[in-house]
Chain A
């Protein structure tokens, strides 16, 4: 049971992690994350890096879609902008990795702000269509701006290297990607304790009222798009270092839907939801593959027979979540926490 958590100041009330229990768990989680690479094999490290990249991107999308209420289906294309920025910077200029990643974020933020302009006039589905259109324009640019993007064959880049340490394998990349993911998530959580973050939420809840309250819609909507795209850009940049080949086909439109699904499954307007959504969407297909593996001794050629079933199960799980928990995985998490907070009095 949770007791003695009376708040005595506004600062304490606003703290991200307000109880010692929470801080202990967080410290434990960080410790596990730090030790994980030394115990896991290549496959699990690869999955961890992929999840971390997705967490960054989904968090970004949650800022614009979950917190500001602007539906965007351009996240994959924005990641593409970030990935190409890193690829070009790395192969042409050989600039430092962290600088490339910041540049990827900044350039993508600029592109995102431009793409966000229609959000001033249109909302909901209309905005979704507008962002789809811009993602197709970006794909066209990736495929046809030959002098920069090398057209359809794309750009291959060398492994990232910081101070002579090469980040080629998932083991090394883990130490680059996961801390950045931590930083990204932490910044996003803090964002919603500031005026800017609150303004985003006000816009989501009722944009006209927000304007009456003195929130300039133009500035904040574009800022939301830019911030979200910054996240996508950094995620795309890390993606480029992770896969080391960037082609126009690396960021298909369905990838944007994947991110939107992760936001919805995880929980719109919840940072924890972004993490859980990204983990769910990335890991569940893999876990289902384990299920296929478990069947192989009993069923000859289970891989071929059960793979289509696996995709159906995955689809069914998503629909199930939407029906039974429309607030997403974050809500389930909260329920579990409440259970422990109240235990043993009410279960």
Chain B
């Protein structure tokens, strides 16, 4: 027994020592690193984003890289825990000369940004669309590949104000930082658009029984109910019960609840669910979208909305890197961010159906999609809406 134990120990030690050396990389590689939630509550998003980044990196490398430099992507699992995300950040940045970073949560972004500013070597984006991060003064090296949560709700409100002026709105949000994020500013925005916020309902993030909330909703009788701060549950339960009670309200959601495969599993009750999407869906065929065609050629099966988020984030990373290198400047955080902010009327190859301009930390563009249970697909229900225009 003692011999096997010793052997095991020796083996473990040997493995550890072999691993201590970092893998060899060319000095001028462009390195994208990521704290990825590949397990845990946010795994569905992490797996999608991870694949999206890999695919875009592959497309770029197959075409010869950026200004002749190869792009390398390294990532590790964080289980969607801030302490592990920071551990991964420290590990990957000490093993590689990282230029671009992908973070998995708002908490991580807030924790790591002071360090990012201190290092000044990289630009960061991530899975968080928190309104707080959309502030170039406080978060100079951060951006998000889409509208922030307040802008997402803003796009929905703009759509409502256009289709049904003076409509009554209900907000249903989870009792988390994520859930509360857009509620305050969105209330003010609704008022400005002449919409009437009749009720705000807060639930735990994993609410199962929603009968009391449904009664509140029935009393308030809104025309539109906007959910925020959930992925899927308890949205289907809300919609089922509302249907049984004969409520006329239309249900809407924000980006993380918009994945097509999630709603496909809900079935009949999902019909009519609307929400804001900053990107086209994998299967969207309208218009010209060479990038979507490339994705469909690489991966014949449906790819999730987080996949597209990861894909577009990488496209913006590498577009910024390209602009920095073409300008003959050093590849560091402030230069990358300046290059990102020089992006004007940029064609994303059809991922976003309209040219984009990034002046700050977000891309305030989106479109309202509506789920059709018969066709089992989210279908466009509005034109591309650009806030501030």
Q: Do A and B come from one complex?
A: yes
Chain A contact residues, CB within 8 Å of chain B: 41-43, 45-47, 50, 143, 151-154, 156, 168, 170, 243-245, 247-250, 285-287, 289-294, 301, 303-304, 307-308, 310-311, 339, 347
Check B180 against A311 for contact (C-beta < 8 Å). no
Contact flags B167-185 to A (C-beta < 8 A → 1, else 0) = 0000000011100100000
Closest Cβ of chain B: how far from A37's Cβ, in Å?
Answer: 13
- The listed residue (A43, A287, A294) touching B91 by CB distance below 8 A is A43
Kindly state whether residue B86 has any CB partner on chain A within 8 Å. Answer: yes
Could you give 7 example pairs across A and B, Cβ below 8 Å? A152-B176, A153-B132, A153-B177, A292-B77, A294-B15, A307-B77, A311-B79
Given A42-B94, A43-B91, A243-B83, residue A301 in contact with residue B54 (CB < 8 A): yes
Check A46 against B90 for contact (C-beta < 8 Å). yes
How many residues does chain B have at the interface if contact means C-beta atoms less than 8 Å apart? Answer: 37
Provide the residues of chain A in CB contact with B175, threshold 8 Å.
143
Chain B contact residues, CB within 8 Å of chain A: 2, 15-16, 18-19, 36, 38-39, 43, 47, 50-51, 54, 75-77, 79, 82-84, 86-87, 90-91, 93-95, 107, 110-111, 114, 118, 132, 175-177, 180
Check A308 against B90 for contact (C-beta < 8 Å). no
- Closest A residue, CB atoms, query B175: A143
Closest Cβ of chain A: how far from B321's Cβ, in Å?
Answer: 22
Closest Cβ of chain B: how far from A250's Cβ, in Å?
Answer: 7
Closest Cβ of chain B: how far from A278's Cβ, in Å?
Answer: 13
Check B83 against A304 for contact (C-beta < 8 Å). no
Check B76 against A290 for contact (C-beta < 8 Å). no
- The listed residue (A151, A243, A248) touching B86 by CB distance below 8 A is A243
Provide the residues of chain B in CB contact with A143, threshold 8 Å.
175
Check B87 against A290 for contact (C-beta < 8 Å). no
Given A42-B90, A303-B77, residue A245 in contact with residue B38 (CB < 8 A): no
Q: In the assembly, what is the distance between CA of A290 and CA of B87, in Å? A: 13
Provide the residues of chain A in CB contact with B110, threshold 8 Å.
154, 156, 245, 247
Q: In the assembly, what is the distance between CA of A154 and CA of B109, in Å? A: 13
Check B177 against A244 for contact (C-beta < 8 Å). no
Q: In the assembly, what is the distance between CA of A248 and CA of B176, in Å? A: 9
Provide the residues of chain B in CB contact with A170, threshold 8 Å.
90
Closest 9 A/B residue pairs (Cβ): A307-B77, A43-B91, A307-B38, A152-B177, A41-B94, A43-B90, A46-B90, A42-B94, A42-B90
Q: In the assembly, what is the distance between CA of A41 and CA of B90, in Å? A: 9
Check A303 against B36 for contact (C-beta < 8 Å). yes
Provide the residues of chain B in CB contact with A247, threshold 8 Å.
107, 110, 177
Closest Cβ of chain B: how far from A281's Cβ, in Å?
Answer: 12
Check B107 against A304 for contact (C-beta < 8 Å). no
Provide the residues of chain B in CB contact with A310, threshold 8 Å.
39, 77
Provide the residues of chain B in CB contact with A153, threshold 8 Å.
132, 177
Provide the residues of chain B in CB contact with A45, threshold 8 Å.
90
Check A250 against B82 for contact (C-beta < 8 Å). yes
Provide the residues of chain A in CB contact with B51, threshold 8 Å.
304
Given A243-B82, A250-B82, A347-B2, residue A307 in contact with residue B94 (CB < 8 A): no
Closest Cβ of chain A: how far from B78's Cβ, in Å?
Answer: 9
Given A294-B19, A304-B47, A307-B39, residue A47 in contact with residue B2 (CB < 8 A): no
- The listed residue (B15, B47, B50, B87) touching A50 by CB distance below 8 A is B87
Provide the residues of chain A in CB contact with B90, threshold 8 Å.
42-43, 45-46, 170
Check A303 against B87 for contact (C-beta < 8 Å). no
Closest Cβ of chain A: how far from B224's Cβ, in Å?
Answer: 24
- Which of A143, A290, A307 neighbours the largest number of chain B CB atoms within 10 Å of its CB? A307
Closest Cβ of chain B: how far from A91's Cβ, in Å?
Answer: 14
Closest Cβ of chain A: how far from B108's Cβ, in Å?
Answer: 9
Provide the residues of chain B in CB contact with A243, threshold 8 Å.
82-83, 86, 111
Q: In the assembly, what is the distance between CA of A143 and CA of B177, in Å? A: 9
Closest Cβ of chain B: how far from A109's Cβ, in Å?
Answer: 24
Closest Cβ of chain B: how far from A254's Cβ, in Å?
Answer: 9
Check A303 against B107 for contact (C-beta < 8 Å). no
Provide the residues of chain B in CB contact with A307, threshold 8 Å.
38-39, 77
- The listed residue (A151, A291, A303, A347) touching B76 by CB distance below 8 A is A303
Check A249 against B38 for contact (C-beta < 8 Å). no
Q: In the assembly, what is the distance between CA of A291 and CA of B19, in Å? A: 9
Closest Cβ of chain A: how far from B310's Cβ, in Å?
Answer: 12
Check A308 against B38 for contact (C-beta < 8 Å). yes
Check B180 against A151 for contact (C-beta < 8 Å). yes
A-B contacts besides A307-B38, A311-B39, 18 pairs, CB < 8 Å = A42-B94, A43-B94, A46-B86, A47-B87, A151-B180, A153-B177, A170-B90, A245-B107, A250-B107, A289-B77, A290-B15, A290-B16, A291-B15, A303-B38, A304-B38, A304-B47, A307-B39, A339-B2
Closest Cβ of chain A: how far from B182's Cβ, in Å?
Answer: 12
Q: In the assembly, what is the distance between CA of A168 and CA of B180, in Å? A: 30
- Which of B47, B75, B77, B177 neighbours the largest number of chain A CB atoms within 10 Å of its CB? B77
Check A152 against B84 for contact (C-beta < 8 Å). no
- Which of A43, A154, A248, A294 neighbours the largest number of chain B CB atoms within 10 Å of its CB? A43
Provide the residues of chain B in CB contact with A289, threshold 8 Å.
76-77
Q: In the assembly, what is the distance between CA of A247 and CA of B132, in Å? A: 14
Closest Cβ of chain A: how far from B380's Cβ, in Å?
Answer: 31
Q: In the assembly, what is the distance between CA of A244 and CA of B83, in Å? A: 12
Closest Cβ of chain A: how far from B61's Cβ, in Å?
Answer: 14
Provide the residues of chain A in CB contact with B94, threshold 8 Å.
41-43
Q: In the assembly, what is the distance between CA of A51 and CA of B77, in Å? A: 19
- Closest B residue, CB atoms, query A151: B180
Q: In the assembly, what is the distance between CA of A75 and CA of B31, in Å? A: 39
Q: In the assembly, what is the distance between CA of A154 and CA of B76, in Å? A: 27
Check A245 against B50 for contact (C-beta < 8 Å). no
